[in-house]
Amino acid sequence: MSRDARRAERYMERKLAGLCTQCGVPAAPDVQQCEVHIAKAREATREAAVRRRAQFRLEGVCANGCGTKSQRYYCAACTVKIARFPSHSVNVGVNVRPSDEYRTRKHADGRTRYHGQMVRGRQPTAQLDDQDITHAIEALQKARSALAYVASPAVQELPRIQREAAKREALSQADHGQRFIEDLLDRNRYASGMQLTDPATARRRVIQQSKKR
């Protein structure tokens, strides 16, 4: 048997036995490696990312790998996306955080959903409402900071295409906030019998307003 075949066989044996595929000690729950080898793999991934970013900078492009020529570490759009605003940009105070009393999990669709036990005396819908509005406020504050950054001289002196990319990124934060509000309104529409604005109507309104500008 070749060395590769032997290695592949050992890999499968360990995998099926719930052992670390690299060293054979019991693997951590739900994964195929032990804690040590998980940490090593993570470190290797992190180091590769550092090297990749350094290489992008040597080539004079944005460290995020978007391909935009950039004098700064990240281009304007990626600065907004990653939300590492330069220190001169406007910092919008008000500190909102979702309360720790809720157990939440981030889903594949990017939204956070409630999964824990109900806090006594509170309806789950009230918890979801609070979460949605908290996330909406966070997204809108991020959008506000991002728009202030886009309006700053650092971004305004960039080529038009880069300014527009940064602004699109900032506006997508606002859109993200709006989606939480839509969830909130949808959840309550039928339960409360209230005449709330239809999300599609609200969205059309936003599009119309942005066209006017």
Residues making contact with Zn ion (CB under 5 A): 20, 22-23, 34, 37, 62, 64, 66, 68, 75, 78
Closer residue to Zn ion (CB): 23 or 92: 23
The CB-of-138 to Zn ion minimum distance in angstroms stands at 23
Amino acid at 85: F
The CB-of-18 to Zn ion minimum distance in angstroms stands at 12
Closer residue to Zn ion (CB): 18 or 116: 18
The CB-of-26 to Zn ion minimum distance in angstroms stands at 9
Closer residue to Zn ion (CB): 20 or 170: 20
CA distances from 190 to 4, 113, 130, 135 (A): 61, 20, 18, 22
CA distance 145 to 61: 24
CA distance 60 to 143: 28
Closer residue to Zn ion (CB): 68 or 89: 68
Q: How many CB atoms sit inside 10 A of residue 173's CB?
A: 22
Amino acid at 31: V
The CB-of-20 to Zn ion minimum distance in angstroms stands at 3
CA distances from 171 to 80, 147, 175, 203 (A): 10, 8, 6, 13
CA distance 213 to 209: 7
Closer residue to Zn ion (CB): 82 or 92: 82
Closer residue to Zn ion (CB): 73 or 114: 73
The CB-of-202 to Zn ion minimum distance in angstroms stands at 31
For the purposes of burial, counting CB atoms within 10 Å of the CB of 172, is it exposed (0-12), middle (13-18) or buried (19 or more)? middle
The CB-of-165 to Zn ion minimum distance in angstroms stands at 8
